Structure formats: C-alpha cells, structure tokens
Amino acid sequence: MNRLLFLLLLAICQQSSFAAVYKCEREGGKVEYQASPCEKGRETSITTTGPAAPNARTSATSRATASNEKRKCVGKELRINFTSMPLKATLQVLADFSGNKLAADSSVSGTGAFSYECVPWDTALQDIASRHNLVVKVENGTIFATKR
C-alpha cells in the first residue's frame, strides 16, 4: 500500500507529463502493470494529467516472442507496455514488482516508451539504465538510481 501511495505522489509531482499506470491483479496472485485498463481482475490506477512529453523516445523493444500470441510469464518475469511514462514512475513499478524500494537521485528525470514482454525485472532494469544513461544497483532491498 505504501508503494502505491508513493506512485500516486510521484504521478502528481510529474505535472509536465501524462501517465497512467494500472496495477492488474490476476488469478493466482499474479500482478501486471500496464498502461491500459485491466481486462479482467482487480485494478488500481494511478494517473497524472497534463500534456504528453514531447521528448518521449521510442525504446528498443525487448520481446520474448515475435508472434502476436502472449505467452504466460513465469517466475519474476514482467510484461509492461508504456508509450509515454516518466522514468522515475517506471523505475518505481520495477521496484514494486521486485519487492524492492526505490532511491532515485533528483537528476533522474525524463519520459520514455517502455515495452517488455515476459522478461526478468532485472533485465528490464539494466536495459532502462543503459538507454537512459543511468547507474543502477540493487543492494539490501533497495534499487539505487542516478545519472552517469
């Protein structure tokens, strides 16, 4: 619940961008984060209002499969598809998913497109760090993020 409140506060503070995150709770306790409303299951939405950020860059999509079929994610794999999402909010989603806390430096900012299909959360974290020129480390239950 505390992380959900943090995401809400983070979303409110990001007034220069538009973001919507839906935390979808599926059968069997599976949780998915997505930019569109949940089809089935319980959902919690976090939104901000404002114009979309013009500098949102398209990401290199990490996909486990090339077909349109969605395979079932296993273990600590995640599926996210955000077209214009604040970087800090995306890092918070990864922290929440992995059971870690997030400690992001104030220099971590910007917006991007993030699309991952059944990839381990730490692989997504390293990809985001690489594309956004971040240094990230996971230590003692906390993800630390800062600009290079």
Closest CA to 80 of 112, 118, 135, 137: 118
Note the pLDDT tens digit of each residue in 8-23: 555 555 444 445 667 7
Q: 0.95 exceeded by the pTM?
A: no
pLDDT confidence tier of residue 133, bands split at 50, 70 and 90: very high
Greater confidence, 23 or 57? 23
Q: Does residue 93 surpass a pLDDT of 50? A: yes
The values of phi and psi at residue 50, to 5°, are 140, 170
Q: Give the three-state DSSP class for 100.
A: coil
* Domain residue limits, the chain: 2-147
What is the structure's pLDDT at 141? 93
What is the structure's pLDDT at 43? 55
Where residue 118 falls (left for φ over 0; alpha for ψ -120 to 50; beta otherwise) is left
Domain 2-147, architecture per CATH: 3-Layer(bab) Sandwich (3.55)
What is the structure's pLDDT at 26? 74
